Amino acid sequence: MTSQPLNIGFVGLGIMGAPMASHLINAGHRLFVYTRGKMPEAIANSGATQCSSARDVAERADITILMVPDTCDVEAVLFSEKGVAAGLRQGKVVVDMSSISPIATKTFAQKINALGCDYLDAPVSGGEVGAKNATLSIMVGGPDAVFERVKPLFERMGKNITLVGGNGDGQTAKVANQIIVALNIEAVAEGLLFAARAGADPARVRQALMCGFASSKILEVHGERMVKRSFDPGFRIELHQKDLNLALSSARALGVSLPNTATAQELFNSCVAHGGKAWDHSAMVRALEKMANFEIGQKVA
């Protein structure tokens, strides 16, 4: 138990939000929660106070955390008639841990600041496993003093916690993360598919590469998924598609070309066209396999 329990609001109790909120409850904080879907059993039985709206959460909490799917969801949670903004008083803090547009984030922060409240964008990386194990990487944008105030809460949910810069910079870091992850998945998929089609054992090739300069977390975790044909999420392709849409739209606004990001997105699009929006993002390999008319693990004729 923490010696100074806080009144914390949490909006969005999905696959990521529910375990994140549970860690804060287990730390002894008083939680006020709201979710559009079914209330998770663990939260319902935890002693957290269930609220009727996001506004109700914000009225009761000193720090309100959001964990919802997309930019439009954050905007609705913040600024709808029964949204967070309607329940804020001067001095309160809003922390958006969703993965959304960096450009929209700056606008949202300005609107919350105009109410006399502080705003942090703090998207996470690490997926469901990281959320459950409290090992998320958390990339934060916002004022130093507000970051220090909220940091003890971040430490209950993650391990690698970095103040990147001002509002929007946390989201920018997350978009960069998703670009790098997608391109690494594509590289591992191409390498293992090539090895398998050439007649080598892809599991042994992966093992050999794990000891060399090509070693990576993606090769370790998602390379194994590709070899074992284990594509239950994890992190769903449709969510990674959303993040790459943010990357590509932001890049257009900045006048930056991201050609390989665009290619990765097309491979995800192909997976979705074959019914794979809920596959783990490592299943990007299936799009390459369709083009090769060959699957990793298949015997060479």
* From 82, 159, 174, 299, the catalytic residue: 174
How many residues are recorded in the chain? 301
Q: Please tell me the number of Cα atoms within 13 Å of 44 on its side-chain side.
A: 6
Q: Please tell me the number of Cα atoms within 13 Å of 168 on its side-chain side.
A: 12
CA 246 to chain centre: 13
Distance CA 97, CA 94 (A): 10
Instruction: Give me the residues paired with residue 165 across strands.
Output: 141
Distance CA 56, CA 117 (A): 16
Distance CA 159, CA 254 (A): 32
* Closest by Cα among 77, 122, 70, 102 to 236: 70
Is 174 an annotated catalytic residue? yes
| Contact (CB, 8 A) for 97 and 67 | yes
* Closest by Cα among 64, 145, 148 to 108: 64
Strand, helix or coil for residue 141: strand
Positions annotated as catalytic residues are 174
